[in-house]
Structure 1
Amino acid sequence: MTAPTRHPAPTQAQIRAAWEALAPAFDRRITPRSLLFADEILSGVRVGPGTRLLDVAAGSGALALPAARRGAQVVAVDLAPTMVDRLVQRAHDGGLTETEIRALVMDGERLELDDDTFDVCVSLNGVSLFPGLHSGLTEMARVTRSGGTVLVAAFGLPQHVEFIGWTIGALKAAVPGFVPLPADPPPLPFRLADPDRFAAELRDAGLRAVAVRKATVDMSFASAAELLDTLRGSNPIGAAWLADLTESQAAEVRQILDGMLRERSGGGPGAVLHARLNIGTGVVP
């Protein structure tokens, strides 16, 4: 693995294909974990019976489903059809009807929705990944009524998202020449890691009463294999890191991570890791 080179921005088709490929693993590993801290994220807004809520880049429903269970009338959109299919299946399995939650394939940078439609618009590690972050945020604001709230949750710095930071450390140790994430500009999953920049982006989208709070969530891993499978399903960047490993490198990375997990847990095979989230909110004028 050599130093990264700059490539043209991916096309929408390429982005859709990347998330389509990840959707099964994302639904298996990421959504169940995210559902565990959805209430922490949604505590920043009022969501209850009658709330009209839009979840942008919803994945397979980590915020949309809990909001619907609170009584909100939810619309969830995602660019990847398989993500939408998985969300629909989760809603069906949970006894939610299409009246309570609708899931649509849609580009979050160009929402095919009317102005001033929703009371609350949310996104968890979704809009923050858009090549056009400003477009995504302004679209969220556009479809939210005056006085309504936009909420965006995004990862903090990689070293504060331990399942990512630990893997970077293991890759550095196991793979000669491995170059981790660039710092300037940061990769998409971490460009809202700086709370000041996060707040500025929300204000630039036309929001007022902007606030960014930090939350730390726990993520339990039974083994290095589970940790790596989670990373592989979380984002195209992590999937690419692991796809490039030789068999011996992969074994060494697992060995290093298993040792780190045992050290954290005091000798057991699994451990609880922590992840920092920045949760930004703003009100539509």
Structure 2
Amino acid sequence: MQGHRLILFTLFITVIHATKINFFDAYQEIVLVGNQSFIEANLIQLWVDVTECAPTPCSCYVEVNGLSGDPHHIDFLPGKPNKGYATITNLQPDTLYSFKLNCTGTDQTETRNIKTDYGRPSPPSDITFTLNSKRLQISWSRPLFPAGPIHNYRLTINTNSPIDNLPHDKLSYDITEDYVDGTEYKIVLVACNVNNKNEAVCSDANQGQATFIMGSTTTPPAGQTTTPTVPAGGTTTPTVPAGETTTKPNSSNIPSCSVAFLLFVFFFLVNNQVTY
């Protein structure tokens, strides 16, 4: 009988001293001011509050759904052995994760499904230039890794002020003035997200640069020729093909009619000789 009482007393002590999970989330239990969320694009910090830990000190860990590796142990604060946190890193932006809290001394668990914040997108891809009726059009494709819903694009042309009001579905921009041959356009194009803290997070500007320039002279396509323009009052000089020559008249040549006249005079004088 005494043995049964001892077992029951032991069970009673164990039950009343079982670890109890009071709080588990990605922010501190008491929010003092503003948004104190610990949700970033690539990490989440999870805070816990546990009491009546058995055995002491408190020991808890977090399992991350879909990630391999060791569990993330809770670091309890000095002077507050029941409050602590775990920082989960190497996460992907704009991605839903499941976090499960386990503590020794209890079968109680807590699970939170939390989505990471928007992150920095990759630069816009496939930047191209098209010359349409003397107007230059700049076109691009969405970032390959948007890291969230693209909020806007920011375009800088040469040293002009940035054009930052291009919406997420705008994938081209038309320059309003006519293009002048030989003019160089240097552009910087970035994609931007706005995260949950209302901060603009933009792609790397160094990876969004492109240059366009068209030469001031053009080469005619194969099979076509160009016709030279003769200035007013000017003349053109004919071209003689290789191996050929041109013949100019010789002023010393005597026409055939002159030769016949001289022969007539000669025979006339012979037939009509005057004897002295």
TM over 0.5: no
TM-score category (smaller protein): under 0.3
State TM-score, norm by structure 2: 0.22
State TM-score, norm by structure 1: 0.21
Tell me: higher relative CO, structure 1 or 2? Use CA pairs within 8 A at least 6 residues apart.
1
Q: Which is helix-richer, 1 or 2? A: 1
Whichever of the two has the greater Rg, that structure is 2
Q: Which is strand-richer, 1 or 2? A: 2
